[in-house]
Structure 1
Amino acid sequence: MIHALLKDGTRAQHARAEASLPVMDPALTRADYARVLHALHGFHAPLERQLAAVPWDRLGLDWDARRKTPLLARDLRALGGAPADVAVIPACDRLPDASTLARALGCAYVLEGATLGGQLVRRHLARTLGLGPDTGAAYYHAYGDDVGPMWRTFLAGLAVAVEREGCPPDELLAGARDTFDALAEWLDRTLAVPA
């Protein structure tokens, strides 16, 4: 099963990326959280533009419904950012390789998987910062009550990619690993506290 391969094969990269994302810190402030959203927007926006070229409809998936950049922009505005501020957020300059369908789907696996972990984060943000989907945590509420069904639909799309589109599982895995690594590097660079 492709999901087991991706989950097991990215365990180390996933842990590194998660460690670079301080959203579960009990001392997280609104300013810290806004910096995290800026960094995530800077990663998602250019990667989502690349992934828009994937033939999502052939896989039974609706790409527009899965884009997270609009949610991140909404959160930044809810936290006091102006639309002009969001428009000039620096974009990640070292994106993962999404040059093949398999690698692109490996990238998407990471972005979609974040919605599962986002369930824990959204509860933490509600407790510590009082944030909800309309007050700065829309990204972590992506898909609302449909997180499970959206995830299962995505996994079904991956199965179609392997079985009908001939996507090599090792390329899917490489795309997922590259994405976790690129995300961790980007977060480390953009969230580093100046000495």
Structure 2
Amino acid sequence: MHSQAHDVGAPSLLEALRTGTALLHVALEKRLPFFSERLDADWYQRLLQAYYGFYAPMEAALYDCDLIPEGFDRVLRVKTPTLVNDLRALSLNDHAINALPRCANLPVLDTPAACLGALYVLEGATLGGQVLRREMAQRLGVNADNGGAFLDVYGAETGRRWKDFLDYLGRQPLDADDKQRAVTAACSTFSCFEQWLDGQEVLL
């Protein structure tokens, strides 16, 4: 009985993830070019192609590993199809999309806790969507119909889905070792993503 009790002084999974990834999160945000004066339509398209090159293998790895704890609606939250539709709207055909380079250096997703850490990063990335969509609409004339749907992938549901995800995280009975595995995977997801975008030469 006692072994199942939570350590009252231990941080929650969410607190551990927030604290553990804070520096990596800020570092990546500073290098994303969405608010750069130099961002043009060509750079934007290369950026979306690079996002696809990470999200397609990342989501495939996550959803194929069967380790995500029960209660996560992958059909509702998968983002690669929206990226594909945006790339089509930017005049890439399916052959060109399938030929895009894909990231091979992905985080290790070998435990349910590691999957939760990776999901935290992917879900958290949706939060600034409305600001990004407005900025790209203003600057490049990009909207949900012509290549910008991914930027605000959940639209009006963003806040609700983030709250639902946090509730889902809060229900996971993880011990201290599991929490550390989740944080390690989240940090690895940020690092792999930044290295990939850097290699694709789309960051500041």
TM-score (norm 2): 0.86
Write the distance in 2 (CA, Å) between the matches of 1:109 and 1:94: 19
Match 1:152 to one of 153, 163, 166: 163
Percent identical pairs in the alignment equals 37
**Counterparts of residues 40-119 of structure 1 (less than 5 Å):** 40-52=51-63, 53-54=65-66, 56=68, 58=70, 60-119=71-130
How far apart are residue 56 of structure 1 and its match? Answer: 4.9
How far apart are residue 120 of structure 1 and its match? Answer: 1.8
CA contact (8 A) 2:14 2:166 kept: yes
Write the distance in 2 (CA, Å) between the matches of 1:125 and 1:30: 10
Please identify which structure carries the higher helix content.
1
In the comparison of the two structures, how many residue pairs are matched? 191
**Counterparts of residues 1-195 of structure 1 (less than 5 Å):** 1-52=12-63, 53-54=65-66, 56=68, 58=70, 60-162=71-173, 168-191=178-201
CA contact (8 A) 2:106 2:192 kept: yes
What 5-or-longer segments of structure 1 have no aligned partner?
A: none
What 5-or-longer segments of structure 2 have no aligned partner?
A: 1-11
AA aligned opposite 2:150: Y
How far apart are residue 169 of structure 1 and its match? Answer: 1.1
CA contact (8 A) 2:62 2:68 kept: no
Write the distance in 1 (CA, Å) between the matches of 2:34 and 2:187: 21
- Listed one character per residue, the Cα deviations across residues 166-191 of structure 1 (whole Å, up to 9, x for unaligned) are 98111111111000011111011112
How far apart are residue 55 of structure 1 and its match? Answer: 5.2
AA aligned opposite 1:50: A
- Listed one character per residue, the Cα deviations across residues 103-140 of structure 1 (whole Å, up to 9, x for unaligned) are 11111111110100222211111111111111111101
Q: Rg larger in 1 or in 2?
A: 2
In angstroms, what is the RMSD of aligned CA positions?
A: 1.9
AA aligned opposite 2:170: A
Write the distance in 1 (CA, Å) between the matches of 2:176 and 2:187: 20
Write the distance in 1 (CA, Å) between the matches of 2:166 and 2:66: 15
